[in-house]
Chain A
């Protein structure tokens, strides 16, 4: 039985391995039953030699760069055509893909082509005797689902940031760069910041400890990436290139206080209430969840989240935001989070410091009045 775990890596715009790929490699390492199990990184693209070599310096991984004219720009069709034959021949246990725009695009089809199980948007996992049990959010984070593959091979997509590099001494990439070699160093399996501790049920949890002193294999000389090329096959999909991001205007990055609107505000007319609240703070700005921008209640430059802006203000007031992971990805770093939502099960409450279960439209005027009173009180006292 082949115990190999495969990682499908990608190249960032600057020709370096994408950060999500490093996260994926750390994830793949934690899925191993023991440290001797091989990790194979596939890197499709054109002109990816440097990135492949960079990845090959990481401890404990073997790298195959897949070069091809058809891989010059991403398309699901080209990726599946290049990857499926290579993967079908390998009988891999897990194929790890990032759940980003491209990974989520090609991974499900790849799984079908390989007859593999497919588990997407994975946030955490626990290891049981029979293998890993993956968990993911459903119903906008109201529930967690635990799911296992029931096929020889499973394609697993990992939500970016779910398995973030912790405060480990340094990333393997940095280490490899510094040491210039990876034949002697011990390997540290990177753990996520908190490993989603609070979202894993208290019983039956296997906590992953750092696995140190892993078998490295005594390779002679510096590791090198294997490079293969795929034939130039005709594709139906024709990539037409990237389009620039729409205009950037809102002062979200600089704001110390963000009052953010979700679908729960009920309508465009209630944005004014949020503006009035924001007006009471200095350096405040209005933000929004994707749903609000989609509905046209605010322009898309106000959007905070995975496909919008990432913010970390001193105070984040989430108004009627359910707390889908895509939104949390953009505001989790806020120092103090206040959430107002009428749904007591809303996922936003799990990241909030202060939770208010109320109807926004009636609560915000009360809050605005109370804040005014406190400001005036402070002004009086200061005189």
Chain B
């Protein structure tokens, strides 16, 4: 089986974020970028499928500027066999429609049996790239997948999608198919030393975005802004002990303690 995992480099959730001078991009203080957490589940799921189906090849793909190579190295160090970098210059983040079109242009006719993606990126939170890619490739697709099983013949995949209120919906689809994975579907592993060493030197394939057919741009980011702080929020000040004391007083005043 041949599996493609789509991964994205996103800012570390706790890193301080600034809005760029153009008002439409953001900058991460200290360059704290990491693999999108949802995509870590996708990498892990692919590796588990490879364990169940010997001979399976797992390839990781990312669209992004030069720095995005770091998440592909990470995928290799986790155990992916190959890495493909669709190099797209520019700090302004591409929108999902553009990313899906670029990936589709590369992936088409390469014979992947299964394409996995995270349910969304932690940064833009649009949850579009996976289902858009499936549509472009004409593949059946399920999003927010919390469980999957492939019967031994490897012809179909049975998935459970997460619905509201804890409900799940079960579906069966023929392969090839695309799944976007919800967090919690597995426990992502830590890199093994042998993989880490290999990942350092293993070449990756780089494809320039400009060499692929120009993707459509059907949306335009107007502006990013910091949400105004809520006027009602009381930020406690002082030493940690003073804050703790003040908070306990507040609990007392509100008759909560």
Among B49-57, B190-198, B200-208, B230-238, the stretch that binds chain A is: B230-238
Decide if B257 touches A378 in the complex (CB within 8 Å).
Answer: yes
**Tier of interface size on chain A:** 35 or more
Chain A residue contacts of B183, Cβ below 8 A: 290-291, 294
A336-B254, A366-B240 given as contacts; is B225 within 8 A of A148 (CB)?
A: no
Bound complex: CA A357 to CA B140 (Å)? 46
A112 to chain B, nearest CB (A): 4
Asked whether B70 is an interface residue with its Cβ less than 8 Å from the other chain, the reply is: no
Decide if B184 touches A294 in the complex (CB within 8 Å).
Answer: yes
| 5 extra interface residue pairs, beta carbon distance < 8 Å, beyond A202-B228, A350-B227 | A239-B169, A242-B163, A353-B234, A355-B235, A374-B252
* B219 touches which of A149, A357, A373 (Cβ 8 Å): A149
> 6 tightest CB-CB pairs across the interface, nearest first?
A245-B166, A294-B184, A109-B135, A370-B248, A366-B244, A240-B170
Chain B residue contacts of A291, Cβ below 8 A: 37, 183
Bound complex: CA A366 to CA B171 (Å)? 50
Asked whether B212 is an interface residue with its Cβ less than 8 Å from the other chain, the reply is: no
List, sorted by A's number, 23 A–B pairs whose CB atoms are closer than 8 Å. Answer: A76-B143, A80-B135, A106-B131, A109-B132, A109-B141, A139-B13, A139-B122, A148-B219, A151-B218, A198-B228, A201-B225, A201-B228, A294-B183, A300-B166, A306-B164, A307-B165, A349-B229, A350-B230, A356-B243, A363-B240, A367-B248, A371-B248, A371-B251
Chain A residue contacts of B14, Cβ below 8 A: 264, 322, 342-343
Decide if A240 touches B227 in the complex (CB within 8 Å).
Answer: no
A337 to B, closest residue via Cβ: B233
A121-B127, A281-B256 given as contacts; is B132 within 8 A of A242 (CB)?
A: no
Which A5-32 residues have C-beta < 8 A from chain B? Answer: none
Decide if B240 touches A238 in the complex (CB within 8 Å).
Answer: no
A108-B96, A245-B167, A336-B256 given as contacts; is B218 within 8 A of A149 (CB)?
A: yes
Decide if B16 touches A345 in the complex (CB within 8 Å).
Answer: yes
Q: Which B residues lie at the A interface, using CB under 8 A?
A: 11, 13-14, 16-17, 19, 26, 37, 96-97, 100, 122-132, 134-136, 140-144, 158, 160-174, 183-184, 187, 216-236, 240-241, 243-245, 247-252, 254, 256-257
Chain B residue contacts of A237, Cβ below 8 A: 140, 142, 171-173
The A interface, classified by DSSP as helix, strand, loop or mixed, is mixed
A100-B164, A118-B128, A139-B26 given as contacts; is B244 within 8 A of A363 (CB)?
A: yes
* B231 touches which of A73, A198, A296, A378 (Cβ 8 Å): A198
Chain A residue contacts of B232, Cβ below 8 A: 353
Chain A residue contacts of B161, Cβ below 8 A: 101, 105
Which A289-316 residues have C-beta < 8 A from chain B? Answer: 290-291, 293-294, 296, 300, 306-308, 314-315
Bound complex: CA A81 to CA B228 (Å)? 42
